[in-house]
Chains A and B, each alone.
Chain A
Amino acid sequence: MAEATATGTTGEEWQPKIVMFCCNWCSYGGADSAGMGRFQQPPTVRVIRVMCSGRMDPMFILNAFLEGADGVLFSGCHIGDCHYVNGNYKATIKYKFLKAMVNELGLEDERLKLDWISASEGERYAEVVTEFTEQIKKVGPSPLKPEGVI
């Protein structure tokens, strides 16, 4: 954590930067519900809306890491609930490949996560975000972070 505090703002605890991809129909609604339900969550997540978790291109995730994300979360409808019938099955396959790739590349396993959050699960959304933030805080800043990016 010595390195972690060095890159953070002085005196405060280092806050990771997390990019989260949410599907339009479930997880983005979940984020909304979390806000409306006033569920506490850390301000570490930057949400990007995609139409479906099956739309997730591995490149989006790789680019997020290269741009300086400490962790990437991506989330869609529960299995069987996909608005596009099977988009989340495709997401699972992509996740499997990405996970193996990120591991071989030498990034920590914890930095990438796929989870299912439905539109009504505001509380769960907040839980997932809190948990993931804690996880990233433990592993520290991403080694792929470009010079000068906090």
Chain B
Amino acid sequence: MFLNPIMLLGLSALSVPVLIHLMNRRKFQRLAWAAMRFVQLSVQKNQRRMHVEDLLLLILRCLLLALLALALARPTLRAAAGLFAKQRVCMVLVVDQSGSMQAQDGVNSRLDNAKKAAEAALDALPGGSSVALLGASDIAQGLIPEPTADLNLARKSVRELKPTDRSSDVLAALRQAVDILSRISDAKCEILLVSDGQAAAFARLEQIRQTLREAAAAGVQSRIVLVGPRIEQNLGVSDLRLAEGLAPINRPLRFEAQVTNYGTAIAQAIRVALQVDQDAPSDEAIIDSLEPGQTRSVSCFARLKSADYHMVSAAVATDRQPLDDRRAIVVRAIAQLKLLLVDGDPGRSATDAETFYLRQALQPVAPAQRGEYYLQVQTITPAELEQARFEEFDAVMIANVADFSDTSLSALSAYVRRGGGLAIFPGHNTQPAFYNSKLFKQYGLLPAQLGAARGDAGQEKDFITLRAQKRYEHPVAQLWNDPASGSPASAHFFRSYELQPAAAQGPENQATRVLFYYSDGKPAVMDKSVGYGQVVLFSSTASARWNDLPLRPGLFVPLMHRTLGSLIRRQDEALNVPVGQPLVYRAAAELLGRDVMITRPADRQVPKDSRKVEMAGSQALVRYDNTDWAGEYEMDITAASPLKIRFAAQAEAGESSLSVLSATQRQTLEQVAQVLDNSEGQLPVAKQLQQARVGTEWSTPLILAALALAITESILAHRFSQAK
């Protein structure tokens, strides 16, 4: 195959030496000569040799010209394509934009190198080619979603690529690339993925292989360029959370910052600084040393000054991977929380009341100070339910209530769906049949049906405990991931209802989670998101009648606070989203149609964005999708009383991982794609691509051969023309 077949016409130059030879025969000097016999003798003796030499020189010169013509025609090794094979390439350039691409060696980040490789790839494209550009993170971002022949646009788009803090998964982008190429028929199709080869990006390796294999079957050539720099050390804040259930103002709040050593060496004297908004760091913790791969949580305290949104961030010293050096969450501080307790069994004395322990736990202060406490609790009986105005309360807790009237039930359901919190404790009054038919089936409030009650509350020998877990998944239970917080398994449950989650895996059930299990594997506490609200269902009482949980304040108080927090924070859950998830703010109906200015993380130097408050279903919403970066986002809703909501996006901790594709994984990839490892920055990517595209070019060796031939020719010609 020739890249420049027109140059083959140069082969006609082969006739030139012959012509020159013939023409030279006509160009001679005449010389009248006396000593002819010596000339004749010499000619006779040398005739044969001179002929041979002439022929040899002629052949050499022809060969020289042929080689030059061939060299100029730029022959390549891949001979199958023929002389006029289609040269145009339609390339989908997939550039990894995930957070790991921010890793840098102090000068260039991986993304910079990826851009260079991508530009080199663009430069190496043959004329008439077209390019589509996709940014790959956990989603495929169509930067140039349809192939364009405007390579300058492509170059510009590549140069303007910005790193995101999203996690890596190249599969989506590869699928989209294959999809784009499936519509191309008149060019050679190629996929070029430029990535750092982080193992996480290729986690779905089998699917990637399948996708690329199918593409290859359709004639799509896939290539993967791995770029560096490889970094050895990375220390990151892998998690930051509010350890308290609630965030009241002017109280020291404990935040838990989790620091992970992703590197290969022990990190020592790690300073973790906690900062609220733009203030000076409020607290600092030092981790003496952290083994490679190890994660450690530290507690830092901060006070929130006003009942507002606050950004709390934890930071470690900047390193080569800036993605995870700081992690921020937004916390809405509350000045006061109003809680409604519905007591199904008030008892004869206050201590007998079903909600006695609950109230004590939620307001753990002396009765005189209860008025100033941020948690304001109101207790009513089931009979007062119908008059209750749920909207005034942040959460409702129902303990040992037998049943509800339809009015109160529908009001309760509406309250929850609009964003209210509801916690339900069963008891001896509870009518499981009513709960199951109304609350579970009709209103869909309960995460599970109440089954048969087990155990005997009258004795203390036969009990069941909560299952001790190494790692609790639910936010409420996560406190006990730290052994210093004690173990939930210490509480004894003598009697409890069996919670029976809906068997079918419907969309409803996805909102259902189990907070704790009993040691026999049955769910003990479950919750469910209903509408914008949250419901927590316990399987035993809030009082000490069926268990001794309330008698263990070390366990009960934080559990209740965290439960309440989870009910409240359901509203605020949307304030902290993983990078890439939309920011959603449920606005009041009167704000509909208002303009919203969105300020994105300041350090990214990106302009502000704007949205409008729009109607989604029955709710006025502001929805903002463009959360590519970790950090603080701010929504300013222009209204008579301006409203400012702050959000924070957090990068996925896995993105900090330094692990790259293993040799086996790479082999797997190499079955379906050509892998060019440029992580040391040593390969001339353009040349490699060109070589890969057209095979090895033979011009240089041909030119060298021609040169050698030219030298030989000169030497021989000189030698031959020497007097003999």
A and B together in one complex: no
User: Which A residues lie at the B interface, using CB under 8 A?
Assistant: none
